[in-house]
Chain A
């Protein structure tokens, strides 16, 4: 019993050592590897969808399942020059856009916290030297509304940069845009955020 448990633990350690990219290659021929790959991204994808869209948790789960099915179908198209995370986020981005078009409605809310409990408000405020003392719950809600008012392209790029902590090159691969365009988009998104914040009585903090 102990021996088999040790063997399982050893296998798990081995799998944990395998990179996402190699796991993706191995998944083509063995679904067990695909299981482990999905486990690595299950929470990340759910969180990303919840942040970017206004769907319910149930809806986010459905979208995540669709994303994973697409990942499986397109495993042979994965380009090893890319990070696997960039590739799966790209599929997620396309699926979200597709769902967004189907629903014909704008996303309304954004989940505001990252893994460390640091809010988007704080992260973006760092850019504008906001005083953390002023960040009240009420203000967080206002900022959430501001984020919701941002066009999808700005909202997504801010979430990818500051909450998902992706670098410019990864965002370029996810959104399929040149790095220069990504930098300009982030810059414009910040300005847009600032403008809307000013219009929504957040100007005192900017």
Chain B
């Protein structure tokens, strides 16, 4: 039998092996925790946008937009963000399990804790309006992201039924021109109350009726980013604050 201990010490000496520095391990563990923190933040953002996209869906119009409630729900579910959240949650669990004491916790508890953190963080992001901001920015800046949302807005691309969706590309007097995701251009007469709130580049959903080929009269406008980011209507349009309050339900701002 060889003397293993002596062999090991000889190998350590001949190969110049040293214990790795404390800093090496500190950095490794810290990087793992940084990765976990980043994934948790991503998970919160994903959950916040999931809440926003579900709440922002046109629930009041589901009867017009889909054949039944179930098909409406399958239509509006934000699959991309749900997928992102699942992947990120998996990564959180994976990295947590590889921390110094992460293995001591039951995987179910880790998953639940990660989910709870996402719900709390996502809820805060939604309430603060940050989720809407991110979703709107992504929608306006990334073509592929906007295209991804097209199926959600598909029911809004039925002008003959009174639904129209597109980006404002031009504003002339009391008329606006919008470009639909399939490339059609429509000249739209917006409701007077909305004229001052529109600007080029904004994605809008319109309810109204066709008044001719490529012409649409809108009774109601819904903005992609929800009501929180709308500029307030100019006061001169209203006789008083009271009249403004009276007008809000009629405008059905969402």
Contacts and interface: CB of A to CB of B under 8 A. Distances in A.
Interface of A: 27-28, 31, 34-35, 38-39, 42, 46, 57, 61, 64-65, 68-69, 72-77, 79, 81, 172, 176-181
Contact of A181 (B9, B11, B20, B106): B106
Given A178-B103, A178-B104, A178-B105, A34 B17 contact: no
A81 B101 CA distance: 10
Given A34-B9, A74-B20, A176 B103 contact: yes
A74 B19 contact: yes
Contacts of A179: 104
A146 B25 CA distance: 41
Given A73-B19, A79-B100, A178-B103, A61 B5 contact: no
Contacts of B21: 76
Contact of A38 (B5, B17, B105): B5
Nearest to B104: A178
Contacts of B106: 178, 180-181
A178 B97 CA distance: 10
B5 A31 contact: no
Give chain A's interface secondary structure class. helix
Nearest to B25: A77
A178 B105 CA distance: 6
B9 A35 contact: yes
Contacts of A61: 1-2, 4
A61 B2 CA distance: 8
Interface of B: 1-2, 4-5, 7-9, 11-12, 17-22, 24-25, 97, 100-101, 103-107
Nearest to A37: B5
Nearest to A75: B19
Nearest to B7: A65
A183 to B, nearest CB: 12
Contact of A76 (B20, B100, B105): B20
Contact of B4 (A64, A74, A76): A64
Contacts, number: 66
Contacts of B4: 38, 42, 46, 61, 64-65, 68
B99 to A, nearest CB: 11
A193 to B, nearest CB: 25
Contacts of A74: 19-20, 25
Nearest to B107: A178
B20 A73 contact: yes
Contacts of A31: 9, 12
Nearest to A169: B104
A175 to B, nearest CB: 8
Contact of B5 (A39, A57, A76, A181): A39
Contacts of A178: 103-107
A73 B11 CA distance: 12
A75 B12 CA distance: 13
Nearest to B15: A69
B12 to A, nearest CB: 6
A68 B5 contact: yes
B107 to A, nearest CB: 8
Contact of A77 (B12, B20, B104): B20
A39 B5 CA distance: 6
Contacts of A81: 101
Contacts of B2: 61
A178 B104 CA distance: 4
Contact of B8 (A68, A79, A177, A181): A68
A26 B186 CA distance: 80
A75 B25 CA distance: 10
A27 B9 CA distance: 12
Contacts of A79: 100
Contact of B12 (A57, A72, A176, A177): A72
A77 B28 CA distance: 10
